[in-house]
Amino acid sequence: MLRFGRLTLNVAAHEARLSDRRIEFTAKEFDLLELFMRHPNQVLTREVLYDRIWGYDFGGESNVLEVYIRALRQKLDAAGAPRLLHTVRGVGYILREES
């Protein structure tokens, strides 16, 4: 079980909850969120994310990561979470509570 604020991830059951509300994620979205929750408050570079989630370097032209980050943000926002995934311009993304 991983926790970050009101967000919990039951990795064994492949279930995500914000407080008591269940959030549905695709397999890749769940994997991406799990990686962020295993490294909270730590900037994860695009290269690390591509390598750990997709298993290889997508190269500089792919926008697949941005598509998944946007989907995660939309689902978390819709569930009532404050902004948790932040862009660190030119570096990558970080899971942290808004300050």
Where do the domains of the chain lie? Answer: 25-95
pLDDT at 84: 92
Q: How far is residue 51's CA from residue 8's CA, in Å, rounded to a whole number? A: 24
CA distance 20 to 22: 7
Distance CA 63, CA 41 (A): 23
Predicted pLDDT at 78: 85
pLDDT in tens, the chain (99 residues): 999 999 999 999 999 999 889 999 999 999 999 999 999 999 999 989 999 998 876 655 678 899 999 999 999 988 888 889 999 999 999 999 875
Query: What's the confidence (pLDDT) of residue 61?
Result: 64
- The pLDDT assigned to 85 comes to 94
Fold of 25-95: Arc Repressor Mutant, subunit A (1.10.10)
